Amino acid sequence: MASFPRQWDDGTTDGPDHHVHWYDERTAIIRQSLRTNFEGPFIYLLLGSERALLLDTGTGHTDLRAVVDELLEGRDLELVVAHTHGHGDHVGGDAQFDAVVGRSAADVAEYFGITSWPEQLVQFDLGERVLDVIPIPGHHPAHVAFYDRETRLLLTGDSLYPGRLYVFDWPAFRQSVERLAGFVAAGNPVELVLGTHIEMTRQPGVDFDLGADRHPGEHELQLDPAVLTELAEVLSEAGPEPRRIVRDHFIVYPVETPTRETSHTQGAVQAD
Ligand SMILES: [Zn+2]
C-alpha cells in the first residue's frame, strides 16, 4: 500500500539526518534533514529484481551511504547511483559511493543509451521494473525525469516540485515541460508527480524565505499530475520571454545570470 508520512521532517524538531519512508515495498523516499542543509533534498531509491537505482546523493553533509547500505542490506542488488541533475545539492554525496553515473548531459545520455538528446526517451530496466528516462534540460543541462511504470510515479527532480522552479535556460525548459506533458498525454498514466524539494507552504502561492532551514506548515511533497498540465499551460502562455509566474503549488523562477554551479538556487541565493 503506497503511502506518505503525515509530515516530513521539516527542520523544526530534532531527529536523524535522514527521514526515510518506504512508499511501497520497493520504493524508498529519503529526505535529507533541513537541519543538515537548508536545501533538504529528497532522494529516491527504487528497487528492481536485479538493480537498485539511487537518484541523487544529497548535499554531502550527511552519511547517505550508511543509510543506503542499511536499506539494501540482505538484498542481492546491483546499486546504480545516478542523478536527476548535476547541481551540488544533488551530487554532494557522490564520493561516498563506489561508482556514479556522470553529471554532464553527454555522460547521462551515454549511460542510459540516449543517442538523440534531449528528444529521445529510453527505458531503463531495474529487473521486472521498467523506468522511462525523459531528458528535460532547462533547470540544468543534464536534467532527466524518470517515469516508473510500476507505481506510475513521475520523478521530476528540480524541474517540478512544490517550490521555486529555477529556470536557467528558458527555451529549453519550455520545450522540456512540453515533452514531459506530451509523454503523459500520450497515454502514460501518472499517479503522482514527485520532485526533490519543498519550498512552498500550505498557503497557496506562498513560499518559504530563500535559504530557510525550517519549514513549519510545509506543502506536501506529492503533486497531482494536473499540476504538470498547469505548468505546461502557463509556460506556453508565457511565451519566449522569461518571467516569474506564481501559482498555488509552484513558482516559475527565471534566473538570468547564473554565476556558480554549486546549487539549484545558484544565482538566486548565495548557496553554500
Ligand atoms: Zn537543481
Answer yes or no: is pLDDT of 243 > 70: yes
Distance, CA 76 to ligand 1 centroid (Å)? Answer: 32
Q: Does 11 map to a domain?
A: no
Cβ neighbours for 35, distance < 8 A, ≥ 6 positions apart = 11, 15, 17, 213
Q: Does 235 map to a domain?
A: yes
Distance, CA 215 to ligand 1 centroid (Å)? Answer: 19
Distance, CA 198 to ligand 1 centroid (Å)? Answer: 12
Question: What is the residue range of 219's domain?
Answer: 18-254
Distance, CA 154 to ligand 1 centroid (Å)? Answer: 17
Q: Does 266 map to a domain?
A: no
Which has more confidence, 264 or 268? Answer: 264
**pLDDT, position 271:** 36
**pLDDT, position 192:** 98
Average pLDDT over residues 110-124: 98
3-state secondary structure the chain: CCCCCCCCCCCCCCCCCEEEEEEECCEEEEEECCCCCCCCCEEEEEECCCEEEEECCCCCCCCHHHHHHHHHCCCCCEEEEECCCCCHHHHCCHHHCCCCCCCCHHHHHHHHCCCCCCCCCEEEECCCCEEEEEECCCCCCCCEEEEECCCCEEEEECCCCCCEEEECCHHHHHHHHHHHHHHHHCCCCCCEEEECCCCEECCCCCECCCCCCCCCCECCCEECHHHHHHHHHHHHHHCCCCCCEECCCCEEEECCCCCCCCCCCCCCCCCC
Q: Does 38 map to a domain?
A: yes
Distance, CA 81 to ligand 1 centroid (Å)? Answer: 17
Distance, CA 75 to ligand 1 centroid (Å)? Answer: 31
Which CATH number is 148's domain given? 3.60.15.10
**pLDDT, position 264:** 59
Average pLDDT over residues 142-168: 98
Under a CB-based contact definition with an 8 Å cutoff, are residues 268 and 164 in contact?
A: yes
Q: Does 264 map to a domain?
A: no
CA distance 59 to 62: 8
Answer yes or no: is pLDDT of 265 > 60: no
pLDDT range class, residue 270, cuts 50, 70, 90: very low
**pLDDT, position 257:** 59
Distance, CA 14 to ligand 1 centroid (Å)? Answer: 26
**pLDDT, position 268:** 47
Q: How many domains does the chain have?
A: 1
Distance, CA 66 to ligand 1 centroid (Å)? Answer: 24
Distance, CA 1 to ligand 1 centroid (Å)? Answer: 30
Whole-structure pTM value: 0.94
Residue type at 175 in one-letter notation: Q
Distance, CA 85 to ligand 1 centroid (Å)? Answer: 7
Distance, CA 87 to ligand 1 centroid (Å)? Answer: 5
Classify 72 as helix, strand or coil. Answer: helix
Q: Does 4 map to a domain?
A: no
Distance, CA 69 to ligand 1 centroid (Å)? Answer: 25
**pLDDT, position 256:** 78
**pLDDT, position 168:** 97
Q: Report the chain's mean pLDDT, rounded to a whole number.
A: 94
Distance, CA 42 to ligand 1 centroid (Å)? Answer: 12
**pLDDT, position 2:** 84
How many residues make up the chain in this entry? 272
Answer yes or no: is pLDDT of 25 > 90: yes
Distance, CA 268 to ligand 1 centroid (Å)? Answer: 12
Q: Does 221 map to a domain?
A: yes
Which range, of 51-55, 193-197, 224-228, 265-269, averages the lowest pLDDT?
A: 265-269
Distance, CA 19 to ligand 1 centroid (Å)? Answer: 20
Distance, CA 74 to ligand 1 centroid (Å)? Answer: 33
**pLDDT, position 60:** 98
Q: Does 184 map to a domain?
A: yes
**pLDDT, position 188:** 97
Answer yes or no: is pLDDT of 225 > 80: yes
Distance, CA 89 to ligand 1 centroid (Å)? Answer: 7
